């Protein structure tokens, strides 16, 4: 967990300052510069920073990690496509979880007139659905993250466990056959996992760039997912391997 906290701190500092130094981080965490270099190496492999002499600078991927408002406009058409596919699996009368995140936020706008119950930790989803005459809406409580615009923590997880949903619509930062689902943020990952564990069917929405990619916090095996909704996946061998794990891949 110490390494996870260091990485989160490094990414947060990059968000605020655009660069970090080895010496500063070594003093901050009372570890060797070699330890910080290893953190840099792992984050660089994930595309989240670029190593420079004596430190590191922010990559383009890191730009979108923290601010919901920054992320919501990126890849708009792709996100709408995934959500349109997912919306086709929702039936009137369903009880569904909608995970936080900018992709899942677009699903909310597509179900405004459906006769369903939605349970979510996402403030933008609540804002989108609050005026709906047909959607019964539940916001789970917890500690609010202003960047992610969602509730997290033990209170939120406990609230989710009280429900039994028909379907969960979730996102992730990476999924691989070997290491399962993974995330840049453990608190977000634990909410996602709890929603999935308390649903009969789990629909994962993620673009193909996240398939067979690992982030640094692994939180569930691939078998947690029943449907993988993605933009494109042409590798027939890989598709078959996912099917063997009980996962149905749905593409455009």
Interval 201-222: pLDDT, tens: 999 999 888 899 887 788 999 9
Decide if pLDDT at 15 tops 80. no
Q: Specify the DSSP element, H or E, that contains 152.
A: strand 150-152
pLDDT of residue 70: 55
Decide if pLDDT at 121 tops 90. yes
- Name, in order, each residue with C-beta under 8 angstroms of 70's C-beta and a sequence gap of 6 or more: 63, 64
Q: Are strands 117-120 and 136-139 parallel, antiparallel or unpaired?
A: parallel
Residue 155, both tokens: 């209170």
Beta strand segments in 49-135, E: 49-52, 55-58, 95-98, 117-120
Between 16 and 114, name the one with better pLDDT: 114
Ordered by start, the domain boundaries in the chain are 2-64, 69-250
The single residue listed with the structure tokens 């391997």 is 241
Architecture of domain 2-64: Orthogonal Bundle (1.10)
pTM for this prediction = 0.75
Kindly tell me the sign of the dihedral angle through the C-alpha atoms of 112, 116, 121, 126.
positive
pLDDT of residue 58: 74
For the stretch 129-167, pLDDT in tens is: 998 999 999 999 999 988 788 999 999 999 999 999 999
Decide if pLDDT at 82 tops 60. yes
The mean predicted confidence, pLDDT, of the chain is 88
C-alpha 65/C-alpha 71 separation (Å) is 8
Residue of 59, 53, 44 lying closest to 7 (CA atoms): 44
C-alpha 188/C-alpha 89 separation (Å) is 24
- Name, in order, each residue with C-beta under 8 angstroms of 131's C-beta and a sequence gap of 6 or more: none
| Percentage above 70 pLDDT, the chain | 92
- Name, in order, each residue with C-beta under 8 angstroms of 11's C-beta and a sequence gap of 6 or more: 43, 48, 49, 62, 65, 66, 184
CATH fold for domain 69-250:
Rossmann fold (3.40.50)
């Amino acid at each position: 967990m110490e390494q996870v906290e260091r990485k989160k701190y490094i990414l947060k500092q990059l968000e605020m300052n655009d660069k970090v130094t080895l010496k500063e981080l070594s003093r901050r965490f009372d570890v060797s510069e070699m330890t910080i270099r290893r953190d840099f190496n792992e984050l660089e492999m994930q595309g989240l920073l670029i190593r420079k002499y004596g430190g590191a600078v922010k990559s383009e991927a890191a730009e979108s990690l923290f601010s919901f408002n920054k992320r919501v406009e990126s890849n708009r058409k792709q996100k709408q496509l995934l959500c349109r596919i997912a919306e086709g699996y929702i039936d009137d009368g369903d009880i569904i979880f909608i995970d936080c995140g900018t992709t899942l936020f677009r699903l909310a706008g597509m179900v405004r007139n459906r006769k369903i119950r939605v349970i979510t930790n996402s403030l933008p989803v609540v804002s989108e659905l609050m005026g709906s005459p047909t959607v019964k809406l539940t916001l789970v409580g917890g500690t609010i993250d202003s960047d992610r615009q969602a509730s997290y923590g033990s209170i939120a997880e406990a609230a989710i466990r009280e429900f039994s949903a028909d379907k969960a619509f979730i996102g992730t930062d990476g999924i691989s056959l070997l290491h399962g689902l993974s995330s840049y943020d453990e608190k977000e990952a634990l909410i996602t996992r709890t929603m999935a564990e308390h649903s009969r069917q789990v629909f994962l929405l993620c673009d193909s760039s996240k398939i067979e990619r690992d982030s640094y916090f692994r939180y569930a095996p691939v078998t947690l997912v029943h449907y993988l909704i993605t933009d494109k996946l042409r590798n027939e061998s890989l598709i078959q391997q996912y099917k063997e794990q009980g996962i149905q891949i749905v593409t455009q």
